[in-house]
Chains A and B, each alone.
Chain A
Amino acid sequence: MKPAPFRYHRPATPAEAWETLAADPGAKVLAGGQSLVPLLSMRLASPPALVDINAVAGLDAIEIRDDGVHVGALVRHADLLASPEAGKVQPLLARALVHVAHPTIRNRGTSVGSLVHADSAAELPAVLALLGGSVVAGSVRGTRTVPAEQLFVGPLESSLRPDELALGAVFPALPEGAGVAFGEVARRHGDYALCGVAALVHGDTVKASYLSVSDVPTVVDLTGVPEEELGDVALQHLDPVGDIHATADYRAQLVRVLTKKVVRQARLDRLDDREAR
């Protein structure tokens, strides 16, 4: 469990980082390393070079702007989870982040890193997809904003180009009168979920986003669907598969149970919110 040899770069600015990425093709970005380092150690990945962005200035801020929560590429899950401002502007963040692995992993792992790792079993990609957020990426060609619906293109595959560096992400603010909720079932606390659901209820609109039951984070519009049919309607858009931890059948059952439960919680969240005001 020792990585194969690689070149190591430690740029100090975003520009230096993307110049390095352009100059050393195949290089991978190292931020929190909670997914990348195990892959390296087990030699499941052997990139020729790593670009460690931990010394890049200006990427560690959580900013609240009109359009939502802006999260820099070096913001750790634990920081975002602990941010009262972020929690107020978009409460779904904290509700999902408590399910991200364990405190020690959250202390190191970055939220933006989780997004661009594009694991459909991870919580934050599903949250970004549900909220219609985006990722800002930079390269020698300049910066661009990639909306969530264009970000997740396949299993563990984002639409970022190999020489692009994710600089941050935007999680839209919760609109007034809307409600959100998150729920998942995992074998052990902190494990990847067997199935997870994030829900957003706004006016008549009901949307749910799923993890671990499709190749990419999948948002399903459940507006107008009766409560008893929510799960089955969602399943028409999902593809639960079996593995050593659960059968496809069981995951489908979790889709039904969790969809009903989480949508109900999101509705209550909306009401609670209204009463609080």
Chain B
Amino acid sequence: MTTKLMGQKVQRTEDQRFLRGQGRYADDVAVSPDTLHCAVLRSPHAHARIVDIDVSGVLDVDGVHAVWTHDDLEGAMAEPLPLLIPHPALTEGRTQYALAKDEVNYVGEAIAFVVAADRYLAEDAVSRIEVTYDFLPPVVGIDAARAATNLVHPDVPGNVAARMEQSTGDVDAAMRKAPHTLALDLTVERSACTPLEGRGTVARWDPDTNRLQVWTSTQTSTGVRAVVAAKLGLDLGQVDVVTPDVGGGFGVKINHPWPEELLVPLAAMTLGRTVKFTEDRREHFISSAHERGQVQHIEVGFDDDGRLLALDVQFWHDHGAYIPYGLIVPIITSTQLLGPYKPRAYRVVFESLYTNTVMVTPYRGAGRPQGCYAMERTMDAIAEFLGRDRTEVRAANFIQPDEFPYDQGLIFQDGRELEYDSGDYPAMLEKAKALIGWDEFPAFRDEMAAEGRRVGIGLACYVEGTGVGPYEGAHVHIETSGKVKVATGLTTQGQGHQTVFAQLVADTLGCRFEDVEVVTGDTRRMPYAVGTFASRAAVMSGSAIHLAALRAREKVLRIAADALEAAEDDLEINDGVVSVKGAPLDGGAAIDLGTVAVLSNPLRYAFDEKSRIATQFSVGDPGKPPVADDDEPGLEGKDFYSPERATFASGMHAVIVETDPDTAEITILKYAVVHDCGRLINPMIVEGQIHGGVAQGIGGALYERMAYDESGQLLNASFMDFLMPYVTEMPDGIDIDHLETPSPLNPLGIKGAGEAGVIPSAAVFASAISDAEGFPITAMPISPSELFALRRSLVEPVETEDPS
């Protein structure tokens, strides 16, 4: 019997390629000197009307092939970019144009597009375009947006794109009756995905076949295909989109189309040349997308045990100059804020606000880090107020294991009920406490204090809706070589899909792991797909691949049973060979998958060894058509998976930090994660995802921010000043423990794991630093300079008061 690979720490098959520099990214496509390159003139101002654009200095430059402004665009290309996810509450949705029309609303907005023989020439040309601006007052930051002294879009009153409210129970009445109440005001600043590979698109028009070939660094090749076809006036069948290796996405590449994703294909068709755009780092900072900026006001009523009787949350979400991705981020904050807890009554109201800054689309965690931060800061405040242990207050509010499925009474991001499918939060808390050494910490604190050192411990809990629909599909094709070719339509940006999907196929089909080859994000292979976001690839495509492999297996068994003159139920498949259960392989009746594949196709030209072997078998009924009515030639299986709702993973992070009494530097002494993503396909890959998420979360909590000045200039648009942490800023190891509560919603019992590591970071560090310092941290991220300033303002004035 073949060993099951589900749950095994199988080495990532893609790493040999990546680690040897053999990855093939968008910029590695079409490296011929004939390829044309693009550069974009981007607005240097946050808010201005465009009075005039003078491109006359560029047109006659040798090597420049095209210079376009909005005036050069026609038809659908001249219309605003699509609002991808409309919502009834989004009453004032605005999106940008591929090239700015009449006005610019953030530093970095695309104004003109140059195609030239190389990027150097294209940048030279961009620098010679002259634009005359009429300046408008910029709106930067949530306070300015709320004040609405100035408007981003003159026809959007109050800068409010959407106001949305959800509630369960009578919050006002519950608050009045609550024995204790508290109010908190919290802020979270912006950060960004910052994948190592920025955006990139290559396009080639083939006049002989009338087809457009696009390679793009995206999290949804089918989405890009559909919008390119629509905007360029092509039939869907004329457009192929291939997503090559992608050097990280983390959310930013689910937004589409970027202006360049349309302009590059348009240029390829117009100029009849292969055209490439590769974004540089500064462009990525100022013209892709950011996330996380929110201001929150929380009022909470609770009893003597800290049980939440009433939770009343208002928050203001900064979505930047445009809102192409709709309300996904604030909706997730407003619903996932509840985490593993069950308040008696809950009300949340948010406003999504325009500012003259880079737009906001989901970034790993996608609104959950802010929600978790709001909830967990509240839990800590309640514990502080009651003088109770922070874990006790949390435990008092947990949904219990026997309460699943648990309906929170809200509508989630996918428009479905927010109903948790499974979990075990009390057991998880015990694991987390043990892993971090919660109960031993007071002694450790005393020991450190004796050395003049200051330490603090923090804990934060979250629940993550993963694997949102609507669907993913998979196609499994067994070739006559016995190789198994698998296609699923969603894209891969480094997660290890080739490995985990091959594990599932090997288990389900009974073939050898090495014989499985997985292709993702190629619309030629799987034209119906959604994309890789919302921690959905394993749940959605994993389930679809399992189902498609089952279909292929059924057909294998049917043909093999005919060939071997055995009953299907008596057959098994091991290492790619079908045989009668219990019979010895040597000498017993057996047939390999490649031979079955030959038999599956009645057209028997003999091309290879397998065809010769197949001649010894006889299948089919000579009295009937070679392909039956309900059958088709070939050995393939195809299926789609479409769940009724998301499946809810959960986790708890705990951290011990040290804060330097003199320099306020913050050092991580220990970081612990307990994680439940249902049944694990590959624990090594899940742990890798957690490591990466924790690293990104540490960045967001302690290092990164988008430093906009009042005029809307991003002051730190480089990796020198945007402090993405290095490995030297990571703790010496992250302790991980797993809990497996299978999801009842999919055949494999799995839940998503991609975003988990980053969700509780702001919350857990705020908790630990507060614990070390003795005053609440209410604004994240926090730098040593800011912690020092807080000490000065909160602690030292009291100490320095003159007693006389």
Whether B703 contacts A244 by the Cβ 8 Å rule is no
Whether B120 contacts A1 by the Cβ 8 Å rule is no
Query: Does A81 touch B at the CB level, under 8 Å?
Result: no
Whether B119 contacts A254 by the Cβ 8 Å rule is no
Task: Identify which of B282, B665, B789 contacts A247 (C-beta below 8 A).
Answer: B789
Q: Which segment of A55-63, A68-76, A161-169, A185-193 sits at the interface?
A: A185-193
Whether B792 contacts A249 by the Cβ 8 Å rule is yes
On chain A, the residues within 8 Å of B725 by CB distance are 188
Known contacts A1-B282, A190-B728, A244-B715; is A43 also within 8 Å of B788 by CB? no
On chain A, the residues within 8 Å of B707 by CB distance are 244
Bound form: Cα–Cα A188–B280 in Å: 23
Whether B789 contacts A249 by the Cβ 8 Å rule is yes
Interface hits, A215-274 → B, CB 8 Å: 244-247, 249-250, 253-254, 257
User: What does DSSP make chain A's interface, helix, strand, loop or mixed?
Assistant: loop
Task: Identify which of A3, A191, A244 contacts B120 (C-beta below 8 A).
Answer: A3
Query: Does A42 touch B at the CB level, under 8 Å?
Result: yes
Query: Does B281 touch A at the CB level, under 8 Å?
Result: yes
Q: Within the complex, what minimum Cβ distance (angstroms) separates B162 from chain A?
A: 31
Query: Does B801 touch A at the CB level, under 8 Å?
Result: no
Query: Does B238 touch A at the CB level, under 8 Å?
Result: no
On chain B, the residues within 8 Å of A45 by CB distance are none
Query: Does B304 touch A at the CB level, under 8 Å?
Result: no
On chain B, the residues within 8 Å of A247 by CB distance are 785, 788-789
Whether A191 contacts B723 by the Cβ 8 Å rule is yes
Query: Does A156 touch B at the CB level, under 8 Å?
Result: no
Query: Does A12 touch B at the CB level, under 8 Å?
Result: no
On chain B, the residues within 8 Å of A2 by CB distance are 119-120, 123
Query: Does A82 touch B at the CB level, under 8 Å?
Result: no
Q: Within the complex, what minimum Cβ distance (angstroms) separates B794 from chain A?
A: 15
Scoring A188, A189, A192 by chain B CB atoms within 10 A of each residue's CB, the highest score goes to: A188
Interface hits, A81-129 → B, CB 8 Å: 102
Query: Does B784 touch A at the CB level, under 8 Å?
Result: yes
Known contacts A2-B120, A188-B725, A191-B723; is A245 also within 8 Å of B783 by CB? yes
Bound form: Cα–Cα A246–B782 in Å: 11
Query: Does A5 touch B at the CB level, under 8 Å?
Result: yes
In which size bucket is the chain A interface?
A: 20 to 34
Query: Does B127 touch A at the CB level, under 8 Å?
Result: yes
Interface hits, A1-55 → B, CB 8 Å: 1-5, 42-43
Bound form: Cα–Cα A246–B784 in Å: 8
Known contacts A1-B282, A188-B729, A189-B729; is A254 also within 8 Å of B663 by CB? yes
Bound form: Cα–Cα A244–B707 in Å: 7
Query: Does B662 touch A at the CB level, under 8 Å?
Result: yes
Whether B788 contacts A253 by the Cβ 8 Å rule is yes
Smallest CB-CB separation from A1: which chain B residue? B280
On chain A, the residues within 8 Å of B716 by CB distance are 244
Known contacts A1-B280, A253-B788; is A246 also within 8 Å of B783 by CB? yes
Whether A188 contacts B662 by the Cβ 8 Å rule is no
Known contacts A2-B119, A189-B729, A250-B789; is A244 also within 8 Å of B721 by CB? yes
Query: Does B605 touch A at the CB level, under 8 Å?
Result: no
Query: Does B124 touch A at the CB level, under 8 Å?
Result: yes
Bound form: Cα–Cα A102–B783 in Å: 22
Task: Identify which of A4, A185, A249, A257 contacts B124 (C-beta below 8 A).
Answer: A4
Query: Does B607 touch A at the CB level, under 8 Å?
Result: no
On chain A, the residues within 8 Å of B703 by CB distance are 187-188
Whether B785 contacts A188 by the Cβ 8 Å rule is no
Task: Identify which of B119, B120, B723, B792 contacts A188 (C-beta below 8 A).
Answer: B723
On chain B, the residues within 8 Å of A191 by CB distance are 720, 723
Whether B726 contacts A250 by the Cβ 8 Å rule is no
Bound form: Cα–Cα A264–B127 in Å: 53
Whether A187 contacts B127 by the Cβ 8 Å rule is no
Smallest CB-CB separation from B119: which chain A residue? A2
Whether A188 contacts B726 by the Cβ 8 Å rule is yes
1/0 contact trace for B670-687 toward A, CB 8 Å?
000000000000000000
Bound form: Cα–Cα A102–B127 in Å: 33
Bound form: Cα–Cα A190–B119 in Å: 31
On chain B, the residues within 8 Å of A246 by CB distance are 783-785
Could you give 30 example pairs across A and B, Cβ below 8 Å?
A1-B280, A1-B282, A2-B123, A4-B124, A4-B127, A5-B124, A42-B282, A42-B718, A43-B123, A43-B127, A185-B784, A187-B723, A188-B703, A188-B725, A188-B726, A188-B729, A189-B726, A190-B728, A191-B723, A244-B715, A244-B721, A245-B723, A245-B783, A247-B785, A249-B792, A250-B785, A253-B663, A254-B663, A257-B662, A257-B663
The 8 closest A-B pairs by CB, nearest first: A189-B728, A246-B785, A250-B785, A1-B280, A244-B707, A2-B120, A257-B662, A250-B788
Interface residues, chain B, with chain A CB atoms under 8 Å away: 119-120, 123-124, 127, 280-282, 662-665, 703, 707, 715-716, 718, 720-721, 723, 725-726, 728-729, 783-785, 788-789, 792
Interface residues, chain A, with chain B CB atoms under 8 Å away: 1-5, 42-43, 102, 185, 187-192, 194, 244-247, 249-250, 253-254, 257
Question: Besides A4-B127, A190-B728, 15 other CB < 8 A contacts?
Answer: A2-B119, A2-B123, A3-B120, A43-B127, A185-B665, A188-B703, A188-B725, A188-B729, A189-B728, A192-B720, A244-B715, A245-B721, A245-B723, A246-B785, A249-B789
